């Protein structure tokens, strides 16, 4: 079994980004800028945003967080996004999800300029990703693809099961795998017999937020397991969606939680923002 070390890979990518940022600033006087919209006071959201702020600072980005009360209305958020769309110093706009229930999330995401949609959630970028055209790709699935590249894990012709069909992870993950010529099965809450699908898979990718959903008897010997889930137990410890201790004994590759996919999500957000800054610079 080989551990897929997302923490080390993320650090490697961020070091590379830092060098590119310095060159971009020196040669073209451009500093990549990321704006985050944070609505409400959810502790997990605050923690994620703080991590993003620290990562931006470490690579030399300009970053700003718009913190808004839970009671804010739809039009006020739209107005702030529109302002950031026009700001030439902002190259990436990120909406920290989930938004309060009274806010129409789909409409909010559509307001973002697709050229600044570094989360890859705008329908324009989703369509381009599905058709294998250059686009901004959601950060978590993109991070998983980087892991496959780094560890030389072949995808073409492999049988892959994606557990979870969210717009943020499952669906874009399946699209990227299809683009890489894998044979993909997507399972979800209505799938009748999950183990029937996972047992025969060469690669299992799971991200649903349910501890120990995937157990040792549900995967074959030598499978690759990518655990995107993150769950906090009553004792305060963080675990993924798979039974890591037992699964690791029969997998060829497996990601830990924490220290696996999580750090890669941050690295890809930085990578997408840098990409946007370069494109904006070329258009000027």
- Residues with catalytic annotation? 52, 96, 119
Contact 256, 178 (CB under 8 A): no
Report how far apart, in Å, the C-alpha atoms of 36 and of each of 25, 91, 92, 279 are.
Answer: 22, 11, 8, 20
As a whole number of angstroms, the distance between CA 20 and CA 224 comes to: 32
**Contact between 224 and 203 (Cβ < 8 Å):** yes
Count the neighbouring beta carbons within 10 Å of the beta carbon of residue 48: 18
Helices (H), 60-193: 74-86, 105-111, 123-130, 139-150, 170-179
Measuring CA to CA, which residue among 227, 254, 252, 255 is closest to residue 241? 227
- Cα dihedral sign, 247-253-255-259: positive
Q: Judge whether 162 and 187 are in contact, CB under 8 Å.
A: yes
Q: Are 255 and 146 in contact (CB under 8 A)?
A: no
Give the bridge partners for 204, in sequence order.
161, 225
CA dist 139 → 118, 163, 213, 223, 263 (Å): 8, 17, 23, 24, 10
Give CA separation, 200 vs 68, 106, 218, 227, 278, in Å: 47, 36, 9, 17, 43
């Amino acid at each position: 079994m080989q551990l897929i070390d997302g923490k080390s890979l993320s650090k490697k990518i961020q070091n590379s980004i830092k060098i590119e940022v310095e060159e971009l600033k020196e040669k073209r006087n451009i500093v990549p800028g990321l704006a985050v919209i944070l609505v409400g006071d959810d502790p997990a959201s605050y923690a994620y945003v703080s991590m993003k702020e620290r990562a931006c600072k470490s690579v030399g980005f300009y970053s700003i967080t718009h913190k808004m009360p839970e009671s804010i209305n739809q039009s006020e958020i739209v107005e702030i996004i529109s302002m950031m769309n026009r700001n030439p110093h902002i190259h990436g706009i990120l909406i920290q999800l989930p938004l309060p229930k009274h806010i129409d999330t789909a409409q909010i995401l559509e307001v973002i300029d697709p050229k600044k949609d570094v989360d890859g959630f705008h329908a324009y970028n989703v369509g381009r990703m599905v058709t294998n055209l250059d686009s901004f790709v959601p950060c978590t699935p993109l991070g998983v693809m980087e892991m496959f590249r780094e560890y030389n894990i072949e995808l073409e012709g492999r049988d892959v099961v994606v557990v979870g069909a969210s717009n943020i992870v499952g669906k874009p993950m399946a699209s990227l795998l299809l683009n890489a010529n894998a044979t993909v099965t997507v399972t979800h809450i209505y799938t009748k017999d999950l183990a029937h699908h996972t047992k025969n898979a060469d690669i299992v990718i799971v991200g649903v937020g349910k501890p120990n959903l995937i157990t040792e008897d549900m995967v074959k010997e030598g499978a690759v397991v990518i655990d995107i889930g993150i769950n906090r137990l009553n004792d305060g410890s963080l675990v993924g969606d798979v039974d890591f201790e037992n699964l690791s004994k029969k997998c060829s590759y497996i990601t830990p939680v924490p220290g696996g996919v999580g750090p890669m999500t941050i690295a890809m957000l930085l990578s997408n923002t840098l990409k946007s800054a370069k494109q904006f610079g070329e258009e000027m």
